[in-house]
Structure 1
Amino acid sequence: MLDIAPSEFLLVAFIALVVIGPKDLPKALRVIGHWVGRARAVGRQFRSGFDEMVREAELAEMEKKWKAENERIMREHAAPSADPALPHVSADEPAPVMVEQPQMIEHPQIVPSDASAPTEGSTPAVAPEPGSDVPAVGNRAAS
């Protein structure tokens, strides 16, 4: 960084002591230290900004390479299908059509063995009939 010999440093310190005086020297050193710290912070900020720009440029270059490679792979391994969502269907064949709506089957609820006998003031557990939209009613106390 700076090549200052010890003898040069002592000469600068002696001149500062004579010119500034022993009374104001600590204050002057604090001010100099403050400005040196700010200069270092500006240098650090400049360096980090420059590094960030280099990283962004490298990322943009890598994205271009990846995009070119992806396009090359897609050209080499293109599906013969007209619709990319259906790669197993050729362009000559019509797309498959769903004929029936799928059926949803509800599983019967399992009632614990101790809950099979209704208690006084409660309703018995009732399982829903198959195909009904009514949920099962549990063992609830009457209100």
Structure 2
Amino acid sequence: MFDIASSELLLVVLVALLVIGPKDLPKALRVVGKWVGKARGVAAHFRSGFDEMVRQSEIEELEKKWKAENERIMAAHPADPRADVVGDDPDTHIAETPVDTSPADTPPIDTPPTEMAAKT
């Protein structure tokens, strides 16, 4: 933030020692330290508020993009009019014919283990 070299800092300390005096220098440094701490706190609070505003604007922008992409996909792939509605909820659909997803060589579930071992 401030580009102060060590030689410049030493010069400031020597001038403060001569102007304030060795007796009141620790008290003055405590006061300066408190003010620097408050300034850092205010700067951190401002920075976090600014970061939060940027984050919120990015989220809103992403939500707009996702909504536009979702609308584009829904327009490209309309819903199947042959789907049946389940219950009172029009958003819940089932297919007309169930699809068998089990492998053909799998024995039925009610087959005893001895018969399964004999088949293999």
TM-score range, shorter chain: 0.5 to 0.7
| Unaligned residue ranges in structure 2 (runs of 5+) | 97-120
Mapped to 2, the partners of 1:19 and 1:38 lie a distance apart of 25
Aligned residues: 89
Distance 1:34 1:44 in 2: 15
Deviation at 1:81, TM superposition (A): 2.7
> Matched residues in 2 for 1:47 and 1:22: separation?
37
Distance 1:67 1:32 in 2: 52
Residue 2 of structure 1 aligns to a residue whose secondary structure is coil
- Runs of 4 or more off by more than 3 Å in structure 1? 82-89
Aligned twin of 1:60: 60
- How far apart, CA to CA, are the structure 2 residues paired with 1:9 and 1:54? 36
- CA offsets 1:39-73 (integer angstroms, 9 cap, x no match): 11111111111111111111000000111111111
CA contact (8 A) 1:80 1:87 kept: no
Percent of aligned positions with the same letter in both sequences?
A: 65
1:51 aligns with 2:48: no
Q: Which has the higher contact order (CA 8 A, sep 6+)?
A: 1
Equivalences for residues 119-134 of structure 1 within 5 A:
none
Whichever of the two has the greater Rg, that structure is 1
What CA RMSD, in Å, does the superposition of the two structures yield over aligned residues?
A: 2.2
1:26 is matched with which residue?
A: 26
TM (norm. structure 1) is 0.54
Q: Distance in 1 between matches of 2:69 and 2:62?
A: 10
More helix by share: 2
CA distance, structure 1, for counterparts of residue 46 and residue 79 of structure 2? 50
